[in-house]
Structure 1
Amino acid sequence: MNKKIAIASKNTVKINASLEGMKKILPKINFEVIGVDVSSGVSDQPMSNNETWQGALNRAMNAKAEVVDADYWIGMEGGIDKDDDGKMYAFAWMCVIDQDGDIGKGMTGLFYLPPKVQQLVEEGIELGHANDQVFNEHGSKQKGGAVGSLTFGALGRTEYYVQALILAMIPLANKEMYF
């Protein structure tokens, strides 16, 4: 069986994470992948849980408007927030929409940012660029991301996103139990 997925990004990390996650939860399906550049409709650096979810949802909806003949539309949005002590943490939301319009939501684990990175983000610098400055990297968003830098490569951005994508697919892959 073949299915088409439209991913609301042309970033290879997000495309690979989507494809890997879909293959893991639906292993008998062959997937055709289309990456599209669409707007998140939120800040370049979402600064709350709600804004980050809204960005993922908007991206999936905008991908659906762009690629109408897909079977699944996927939006991913990385964001940051602060805990009650003012310490900043990063995470990402995954949104998957199927042909029936049903929505699956999945979230990555969160990790805390070091003070140097937090300071740069508070000054208005997007996390990926702040990460590049602090760790003397270039284009980390298209590679291991902040999670990769902070874990010394033990956990890369693709792997980090795969699990959340699989979690987002739970209600869609088990529709008879959820809808």
Structure 2
Amino acid sequence: MRVVIGSKNPAKIKAIETIFSQYKAEFIVMDIPSGVAEQPFSDAETIKGAVNRAADALYSGEGQIGIGLEGGVEKTENGLFLCNWGALVEKDEPPIIAGGARILLPEEVADRLVKGEELGPVMDDYAKKQNIRHNEGAIGVFTNGQINRADMFTHVAKLLLGQYEYRHVKRR
């Protein structure tokens, strides 16, 4: 099975490789643009970014499966929430889509995002660290390390894989 991952982000790659570990999978990692804003600002935009990455990865990498994982934020009446979505695309099939954990972002972070900044650099500044998006992510900072970005995306990837397996078992 040739699995094309639409991102070179280490947390996203680790998530996909972890959940496909029971398969004989060849992984192709490609830097696929999401086709949405650098900072997706709704579930709809974040989903679109994940689907775009998955579809473009599938065809660009000539795989059997393309996977896109995308992080974003969703504005609610309770404040700005971190969100994450994933998509798994196969040729001639509708995309499989799944979402994951959500946490409320602190106002000082949310305010900067609303003003147009991107979460990654805001988090580096907020936590006084570098490359948080490639390591623990905002989720890791705000859950005191209980959940990191790879864990968060692993959960989404498991939801994708489970639906993929169901799709193929159901047809037998």
Given the two structures, how large is their TM-score scaled by the length of structure 1? 0.90
**Residue in structure 2 matched with residue 167 of structure 1 by the alignment:** 159
Distance 1:22 1:11 in 2: 17
**Residue in structure 2 matched with residue 157 of structure 1 by the alignment:** 149
Are 1:106 and 1:166, in contact at CA under 8 Å, matched by a contact in 2? no
Kindly state the Cα deviation for residue 131 of structure 1 after the two structures are TM-superposed: 0.9
**1:93-132 matched pairs, under 5 angstroms:** 93-132=85-124
Unmatched segments (≥5 aa) in structure 2: none
Are 1:102 and 1:172, in contact at CA under 8 Å, matched by a contact in 2? no
Q: Cα RMSD (Å) of the superposition?
A: 1.6
**Residue in structure 2 matched with residue 43 of structure 1 by the alignment:** 37
Where has structure 1 moved over 4 Å in runs of 4 or more? none
Distance 2:60 2:3 in 1: 12
Change (3 A) 1:138 1:178: farther
- Count of residue pairs brought into register by the alignment: 171
Instruction: Give the aligned residue type for 1:93.
Output: W
Aligned counterpart for 2:130 among listed residues 111, 119, 138: 138
Distance 2:140 2:171 in 1: 34
Aligned counterpart for 2:58 among listed residues 46, 59, 64: 64
**Residue in structure 2 matched with residue 15 of structure 1 by the alignment:** 13
Unmatched segments (≥5 aa) in structure 1: none
Distance 2:25 2:39 in 1: 30
Given the two structures, how large is their TM-score scaled by the length of structure 2? 0.93
Aligned counterpart for 2:74 among listed residues 49, 65, 81: 81
Question: Identity of paired residues, percent?
Answer: 27
